[in-house]
């Protein structure tokens, strides 16, 4: 894959791409930093294929896990300070780093674009309505070249053909995994399942 190193032109945040990359390098372990860089590259590629703003894909891809390594208390403080849904307190980092992390990305990195922030909010749980950008970040996180799990090749192929079918594939497999492990399902994950999975079943069979 050719490396895409953009010069940001759209003033979607008060940082250059280089400065943003430096902030992520600071906030994340080397392993997770490498992951967000791969997600950025995959998101850019999917954006080009699907006629989506490449700069937004770059920013959302880089920032999506910005908050992932923050202590629980940081998230709890933001949930209270911003009077977010108290049900969030029943979950943990896996849900918080997207839904609550978007607030930190807005406040600390200066990303004000709601399209980007929503893509980050939805990157682990999805939504019944997801913009193309949100679908791209959701899928890039799942299929970036460092991912290696049974089914990832199928996910890559399906996503290359049809972004929405990729969303359905991931959602179905994530839910299967959570249920198999007896883990709690965040309600929005079920909303995403109902909105995406039966629709693509119908189209494919
Ligand atoms: Fe994440
Ligand atoms: Fe991620």
Q: Is 74 left (phi over 0), alpha (psi -120 to 50) or beta?
A: alpha
Ligand nearest to the CA of 123: 1
Give the pLDDT score at 1: 47
Q: What is the mean pLDDT of the chain?
A: 96
Percent above pLDDT 90 for the chain: 94
Give the pLDDT score at 2: 56
Residues, Cβ < 5 Å to ion ligand 2: 65, 141
Residues, Cβ < 5 Å to ion ligand 1: 65
86 Cα to the center of ligand 2, angstroms: 24
29 Cα to the center of ligand 2, angstroms: 13
Least confident of 83-92, 98-107, 115-124, 194-203: 194-203
60 Cα to the center of ligand 2, angstroms: 11
Confidence of residue 201 (pLDDT cuts 50, 70, 90): confident
- pLDDT reading at 42 higher than 90: yes
205 Cα to the center of ligand 2, angstroms: 31
């Amino acid at each position: 894959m050719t490396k895409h190193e953009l010069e940001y032109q759209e003033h979607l945040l008060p940082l250059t791409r280089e400065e943003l990359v430096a902030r992520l390098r600071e906030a994340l372990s080397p392993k997770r930093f490498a992951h967000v860089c791969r997600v950025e590259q995959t998101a850019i590629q999917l954006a080009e294929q699907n006629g989506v703003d490449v700069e937004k894909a770059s920013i959302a891809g880089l920032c999506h896990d910005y908050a992932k390594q923050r202590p629980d208390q940081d998230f709890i403080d933001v949930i209270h300070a911003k009077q977010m849904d108290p049900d969030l307190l029943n979950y943990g980092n896996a849900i918080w780093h997207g839904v609550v992390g978007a607030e930190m990305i807005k406040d600390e990195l200066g990303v004000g674009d709601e399209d980007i922030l929503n893509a980050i909010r939805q990157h682990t749980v999805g939504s019944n309505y997801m913009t193309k950008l949100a679908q791209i970040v959701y899928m890039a996180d799942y299929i970036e070249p460092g991912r290696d799990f049974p089914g990832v090749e199928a996910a890559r192929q399906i996503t290359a053909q049809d972004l929405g079918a990729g969303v359905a594939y991931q959602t179905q497999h994530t839910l299967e995994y959570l249920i198999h492990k007896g883990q709690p399902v965040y309600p929005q994950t079920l909303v995403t399942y109902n909105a995406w999975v039966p629709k693509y079943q119908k189209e494919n069979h």
